[in-house]
């Protein structure tokens, strides 16, 4: 038997969990109500039921974006508001974050958002090749202790899956405020065939891109460095 407490049992399926808590405080009454009224109408189809067709979710969509770990949903909602012709798929296992995103969607009357309140990797596995125009990963759980690095979302297999999903010319953005995670992610993305880092100078990763949306999490400055922005293109 393995002595590693983080090692999965033989019965465990799928990758190690890459996120921390699932729920903290009780949901506010309005958010709880939106789980019953709004979420069923905008939920991503259950990936366990078979392949997911983005076109079926929004036939008129001109592009499809995926945000992995949308936190409180501020970034997802703002990008959806700016790009109403784009289908925004958001995945977030933290239930309070899903509740917050539902509130943003409801208040803004957004029609182009679809949510999955669980592991994004399940949705990714059900999406067809070349179905995404953009993938966004903002401030994922850093798992900064060395013995927990294996739980980080960004692994070689995950990077290869992003390449499978992106259309040629599609974009990937990874943002973190932990320097070690930035180095870790850059190393894995750069060695993944099909991804090309777009940076030419230091300012390209030190400064926020023009289309970046600052969230409440980012303002808390919980990491050990200013945000590092890594943008890649699918070649």
| Residue 141 is labelled as binding a ligand | yes
The DSSP symbol for 201 reads S
d(CA 105, CA 112): 9
| Residue 78 is labelled as binding a ligand | no
| Residue 122 is labelled as binding a ligand | no
| Residue 92 is labelled as binding a ligand | yes
| Residue 224 is labelled as binding a ligand | no
Going by C-alpha positions, the residue among 173, 235, 182 that lies closest to residue 210 is 173
Question: Is 224 in the active site?
Answer: no
SS3 23: coil
- Residues 46, 118, 122, 141: which is the catalytic one? 141
The DSSP symbol for 6 reads T
Sign of CA dihedral 110, 133, 185, 50: positive
What single string gives the DSSP state of each residue in 71-133?
TTSHHHHHHHHH-TTEEEEEE---HHHHHHHHHHHHHHT-SSEEEE-S-HHHHHHHSPTT-EE
| Residue 216 is labelled as binding a ligand | yes
φ/ψ of 48, rounded to 5, equals -70, -15
| Residue 206 is labelled as binding a ligand | no
| Residue 145 is labelled as binding a ligand | yes
How deeply is 19 buried, as exposed, middle or buried, from its count of CB atoms within 10 A (0-12, 13-18, 19+)? middle
| Residue 211 is labelled as binding a ligand | no
| Residue 28 is labelled as binding a ligand | no
> Which segments are annotated as binding site for substrate?
145, 177, 215-218
Catalogue the active-site residues: 141
> Which segments are annotated as binding site?
67, 92, 119, 141, 145, 177, 215-218
> Which segments are annotated as binding site for S-adenosyl-L-methionine?
67, 92, 119, 141
């Amino acid at each position: 038997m393995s002595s590693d407490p983080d090692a999965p049992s033989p019965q465990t399926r799928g990758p190690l969990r890459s996120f921390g808590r699932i729920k903290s405080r009780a949901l506010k009454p309005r958010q709880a109500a939106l789980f019953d009224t709004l979420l069923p109408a905008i939920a991503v189809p259950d990936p366990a039921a078979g392949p997911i067709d983005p076109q079926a979710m929004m036939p008129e969509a001109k592009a499809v974006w995926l945000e992995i770990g949308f936190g409180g949903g501020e970034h997802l909602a703002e990008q959806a508001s700016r790009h109403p012709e784009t289908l925004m798929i958001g995945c977030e296992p933290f239930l309070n974050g899903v509740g917050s995103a539902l509130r943003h969607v409801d208040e803004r009357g957004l029609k182009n958002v679809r949510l999955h309140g669980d592991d994004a990797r399940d949705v990714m596995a059900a999406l067809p090749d070349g179905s995404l125009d953009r993938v966004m990963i903002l401030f994922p759980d850093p798992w900064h202790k060395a013995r927990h690095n294996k739980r980080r979302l960004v692994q070689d297999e995950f990077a290869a899956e992003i390449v499978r999903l992106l259309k040629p010319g599609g974009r990937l953005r990874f943002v973190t405020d932990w320097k070690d995670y930035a180095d870790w992610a850059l190393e894995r993305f750069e060695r993944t065939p099909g991804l090309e880092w777009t940076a030419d100078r230091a300012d390209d990763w030190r400064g926020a891109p023009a289309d970046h949306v600052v969230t409440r999490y980012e303002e808390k400055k919980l990491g050990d460095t200013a945000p590092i922005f890594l943008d890649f293109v699918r070649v």
